[in-house]
Amino acid sequence: MSRFVLLSPSAEFDQKLRAAVAHGLRGSVQTIASDILPAGPAELFALLNQEQPEVLIIGPDVPYEEALRFAKVFDVQLPGLSLVLVSDIDPSFLVHAMRAGIRDILSPQADAAEIRVLLERACQSFATRHRSPETQAADNGGKGLVIGVFSPKGGVGKTTLATNIAIGLGQIAPMSVVIVDLDLQFGDVASGLYLNPEHTVTDAVTPAAAQDSLVLKAFLTVHPAGIYALCAPPNPVDADHITPEQITRLLEQLAQEFQYVVLDTAPGMPEIGLAAMEQCTDVVWVSAMDIPSLRGLRSGLEVLRQLEIMPESRHVVLNMADAKAGLNVRDVESTIGAPVDVSVPRSRAVALSTNRGIPVLQESKKDPAVKSLRQLVERFNPAWRTQTQRKLHRRVVI
């Protein structure tokens, strides 16, 4: 069976597509070299010997109007297929393409790595739409997990943990993870993932995106590790125009579309952070191994208990842990009034990876901190969460 079908007379793009699939994707490519597209599914499948592919790639060199006509027919008759348009269309036509049934848009100048990531995303979308009713019923009410990384104090490594959580979850559920930078004024997710995004949270909360999740998805940035990112606006002034209500709507939309939504938040408890916390299924509390950080965390936890917005699934992480700091785990737990779930030791490898913009879990490094980070990621794995006899909070060792 041909998993991918290209509808285009472009021999150059055909060669590029086949190279992308051959180096990392399961399945093969079949090409229909014409700028006149089949009238509908029956005619297409007759050309394919009645086989039904997962992903249809339209273009380049196919007229835009013809591509939209084709997409509309397939969206009505076979909405489960993933349609990808290869075109440098004007941004004003983007919404029309998405509403016609186009699932994603790819530039004709994209290299093999970009093509491979987009096809992985299209295949994941196809698989999601073809899950069995039993599998869908097992989901979290049809919504993904929303994992917020919080700390009352800055400088404790929230962004490092958030980006590594996202990368680690991307290895469990490729193309089903999105990380959102909610430190809207001074967020570092873009630099932490070495991204230069065209769109940010500012675009994602516009009325068009709030009303149509297909438009929202067009504003996400794809990371080579197989996750999506929604980064903070480059101008801190833009953050003043984003409201807690807009963030609430944004997270509701993303939870409907992704298996995991990871949030990197601003220090303290701003209104945006509190609105985000109310949408969280899981909260990762981060503290460094110093008295000011620990006391700040204790005060923050107490405030949230009083406000009664504490999510049930709580994960306390002691970051940059060091036995030479003069404190032990008992001291930490006594100070914050809660057990520590994961201890991430101080690590040169993690510091180097942060400066490079390549999360340490993206590379196969052997380091005690990597082991701890994988333990943290595992807490969000459905297999771990369904263990009825698991102990949620265990005494850790520094």
Q: What is the pLDDT of residues 95-104, one digit of tens each?
A: 778 778 888 8
Instruction: Read off the pLDDT of each residue in 187-215 and give the average, rounded to a whole number.
Output: 91
Q: Give the pLDDT of residue 397.
A: 47
DSSP line for 246-283:
HHHHHHHHHHHH-SEEEEEE-SS--HHHHHHHHH-SEE
Residue 326 main-chain phi, psi, to 5 deg:
90, 5
User: Which pTM was predicted?
Assistant: 0.68
318's enclosing H/E stretch is strand 313-321
Amino acid symbol at 188: D
Average pLDDT over residues 13-24: 87
Residue 88 has pLDDT above 90, yes or no: no
| The predicted structure's pLDDT at residue 253 | 94
Query: Which carries the bigger pLDDT value, residue 341 or residue 25?
Result: 341
Burial 113-146 (b: 16+ CB within 10 A, else e): eebbbbbbbbbbbbebeeeeeeeeeeeeeebbbb
Signed CA dihedral, 109, 30, 18, 15: sign only:
negative
Q: Which of 153-167, 244-258, 373-387 has the lowest mean pLDDT?
A: 373-387
Reduce the secondary structure of 190-224 to three states and give it as a string.
HHHCCCCCCCEHHHHCCHHHHHCHHHHHHCCEEEC
Top pLDDT among 385 and 9 is at 9
Residue 387, pLDDT > 70, answer no
- Give yes or no for a contact between 165 and 147, defined as CB atoms under 8 angstroms apart: yes
Domain ranges, ordered by start, for the chain: 4-130, 138-385
Q: Element (H or E) spanning 187, and its range? A: none
pLDDT for 175: 83
What was the pLDDT predicted at 377?
A: 93
Sign of CA dihedral 13, 19, 24, 29: positive
As a whole number of angstroms, the distance between CA 148 and CA 159 comes to 11
Q: Quote the CA–CA distance of 43 and 41 in Å, as a whole number.
A: 6
Query: Over 50: is that where the pLDDT of 182 sits?
Result: yes
Distances (CA, A) of 362 to 60, 173, 176: 33, 14, 16
N-to-C CA span, the chain: 52
For the residues 202-212, what does the mean pLDDT come to? Answer: 91
- Quick one: pLDDT band at residue 125, thresholds 50, 70, 90? low
Judge: domain 138-385, CATH 3.40.50.300: yes
pLDDT at 390 over 60: no
- pLDDT at residue 225 is higher than 80: yes
Same fold, 4-130 and 138-385: yes
What pLDDT shows up at residue 396? 53
pLDDT band, residue 2 (cuts 50/70/90): low
Please give the Cα distance from 16 to 83 (Å, whole number). 18
For residue 140 the two structure tokens come to 């979290």
User: Are 149 and 311 contacting, i.e. CB atoms less than 8 angstroms apart?
Assistant: no
For the chain, give the percent of residues with pLDDT over 70: 89
Which CATH topology does 4-130 take? Rossmann fold (3.40.50)
